[in-house]
């Protein structure tokens, strides 16, 4: 079996724009799920609202496409009602960190046995490119036409501080690494959070001087800083450049988890 | 195995041209019936998975397939090589 068997072939091609990174993240997540050897009847995908949240609609298993920001609330319900199910959540930066911010921190605090994959395109893609809580400083969006002046959320640090058992960050360039990270997330009991930085050529790239999709992916590649290298730089007392994203396995621990069968 | 791009799915984003370690995908030149400029394959028989998949019995490399946001890249089984009789015309 391969991860291609998890797609609803009749629903493809999907509606994402040409070059949208969401498709890549679905591939990597399904490849990891496939490696776990789980049955389709025992795996559930849950999402909120947004381009990223359309993902479960392209997957063969049972799924819930819920209300904006509430994916984690619904996923908690599914997991508590039947802890035998494997629950994977697809979400976007707006869905998870803006309207769904409270659900996010409390799901981390409770350390519920879910795996959450956040496709962070740093923008509200679906509604026409409004700035989100993760839009970087200086970036243009339809609500920040002179450049965003706010400090963005670091979703991984937020998840770690709130108590998640497993946290890692990769980008749509690092497909193999992302696949492995999702697999570790699926294996880890408790709340696993995987942030995937993705390109949104339509709402973000177009306004921020990424003429080609490949330019944005190249940007993500050269602005990724491996956690091990970051730690070495910190030890040597060097300054970490502000525009770098720390990638890798950021947190792995075994706090008591909810929804895990003893 | 044989590498192929599904033209009904490809949206012409050219991400595959960036990530293949052998640079097998080259930017296409002509739009197809749907208006998509699908990349061309430059000597795809160099692909690791094409050459060694059946020998190793598992997927090799495969970054293009994982990266393609539109699930357009796949491999098909090739017909076993058959000897052909060559008719020589005088
Ligand atoms: C309660 C509610 N408020 C607002 C909206 C409008 N809305 C739809 S999608 C969206 C933003 C989605 O952004 P994100 O989660 O980052 O997903 P993306 O499209 O970027 O993948 C908003 C605000 C809504 N559908 N429901
Ligand atoms: S608007 Fe952005 S996030 Fe939505 S499908 Fe298009 S590229 Fe993807
Ligand atoms: S990555 Fe996929 S959709 Fe993009 S050009 Fe290549 S085959 Fe087409
Ligand atoms: Mg978004």
Answer for the pair A172, A196: CB distance below 8 angstroms, yes or no.
yes
DSSP state of B84: -
* Count of the separate structural domains present in chain A: 1
- Strand A245-252 relative to strand A166-171: parallel, antiparallel, unpaired? antiparallel
pLDDT at B83 over 90: no
Q: Among A16-30, A169-183, A186-200, A248-262, name the one with the lowest average pLDDT.
A: A248-262
- A25 C-beta closer than 6 A to ligand 2: no
pLDDT at A29 over 80: yes
Q: How confident is the model at residue B77 (pLDDT cuts 50, 70, 90)?
A: confident
B67 touches chain A (CB under 8 A): yes
A259 lies in some domain: no
Average pLDDT across chain A, whole number: 96
pLDDT at residue B85, as a whole number: 78
- Strand A62-65 relative to strand B25-26: parallel, antiparallel, unpaired? unpaired
pLDDT at A37 over 90: yes
> Which ligand has the nearest atom to the CA of B40?
3
Q: How confident is the model at residue A38 (pLDDT cuts 50, 70, 90)?
A: very high
Domain borders along chain B are: 2-76
A198 lies in some domain: yes
pLDDT at A81 over 70: yes
pLDDT at B84 over 80: no
A258 lies in some domain: no
Please list, residue by residue across A100-128, b when 16 or more beta carbons sit within 10 angstroms of its beta carbon and e when fewer do: beebbbebbebbbbbbbbbbbbbbbbbee
- A167 vs B53, more confident: A167
A217 touches chain B (CB under 8 A): yes
pLDDT in tens, A103-115: 999 999 999 999 9
Residue A110: which CATH number? Answer: 3.40.50.970
Q: Which domain holds residue A239?
A: 3-252
Residue nearest to atom 8 of ligand 3 (CA): B10
DSSP-derived 3-state class of residue A87: strand
What does the alpha-carbon distance between residue A106 and residue A188 come to, in Å, rounded to a whole number?
Answer: 18
Q: How confident is the model at residue A215 (pLDDT cuts 50, 70, 90)?
A: very high
Average pLDDT over residues A181-209: 96
Q: How confident is the model at residue A2 (pLDDT cuts 50, 70, 90)?
A: confident
pLDDT at A16 over 90: yes
pLDDT at residue B81, as a whole number: 67
For the domain bounded by B2-76, which CATH number is listed?
3.30.70.20
A5 touches chain B (CB under 8 A): no
- A51 C-beta closer than 6 A to ligand 2: yes
DSSP-derived 3-state class of residue A89: strand
pLDDT at residue A141, as a whole number: 96
Spatial CA neighbour of A175 closest among A129, A224, A210, A135: A224
Q: Which residues in chain A are contacts of B7 at CB distance < 8 A?
A: none
Q: How confident is the model at residue A48 (pLDDT cuts 50, 70, 90)?
A: very high
pLDDT in tens, B20-44: 999 999 999 999 999 999 999 999 9
Q: How confident is the model at residue A23 (pLDDT cuts 50, 70, 90)?
A: very high
Strands (E), A5-143: 43-47, 62-65, 86-92, 115-120
- B80 vs B63, more confident: B63
Q: Pick from A6, A11, A12, A35 the residue to mutate for testing the B interface (most B CBs within 10 Å).
A: A12
């Amino acid at each position: 079996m391969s991860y291609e068997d998890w797609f609803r072939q009749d629903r493809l091609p999907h509606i994402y724009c040409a070059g949208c990174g969401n498709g890549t993240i679905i591939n990597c997540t399904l490849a990891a799920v496939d490696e776990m050897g789980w049955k389709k009847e025992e795996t559930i995908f849950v999402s909120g609202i947004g381009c990223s949240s359309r993902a479960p609609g392209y997957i063969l298993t049972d799924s819930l496409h819920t209300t904006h920001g509430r994916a984690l609330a619904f996923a908690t319900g599914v997991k508590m009602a039947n802890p035998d199910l494997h629950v994977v959540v697809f979400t976007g930066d707006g869905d998870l960190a803006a309207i769904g911010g409270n659900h996010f921190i409390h799901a981390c605090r409770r350390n519920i046995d879910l795996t959450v994959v956040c496709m962070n395109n740093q923008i509200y893609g679906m509604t026409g490119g409004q700035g989100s809580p993760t839009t970087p400083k200086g970036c243009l969006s339809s609500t920040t036409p002179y450049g965003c002046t706010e400090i963005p959320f670091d979703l991984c640090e937020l998840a770690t501080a709130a108590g998640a058992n497993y946290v890692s960050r990769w980008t749509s360039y690092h497909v193999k690494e992302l696949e492995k990270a999702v697999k570790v997330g699926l294996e880890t009991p408790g709340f696993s959070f995987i942030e995937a930085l993705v390109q949104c050529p339509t709402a973000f790239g177009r306004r921020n001087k990424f003429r080609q999709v490949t330019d944005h992916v190249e940007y993500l590649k050269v602005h990724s800083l491996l956690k091990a290298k970051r730690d070495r730089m910190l030890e040597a007392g060097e300054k970490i450049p502000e525009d770098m994203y720390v990638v890798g396995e950021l947190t792995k621990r075994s706090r008591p988890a909810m929804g895990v069968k003893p | 195995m044989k590498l192929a791009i599904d033209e009904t799915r490809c949206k012409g984003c050219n991400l595959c041209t960036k990530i293949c370690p052998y640079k097998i995908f080259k930017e296409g030149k002509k739009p197809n019936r749907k208006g998509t400029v699908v990349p061309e394959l430059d000597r795809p028989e160099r692909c690791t998975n094409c050459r060694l998949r059946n020998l190793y019995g598992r997927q090799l490399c495969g970054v293009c397939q994982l990266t393609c946001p539109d699930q357009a890249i796949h491999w098909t089984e090739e017909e076993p090589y058959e000897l052909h009789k060559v008719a020589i015309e005088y």
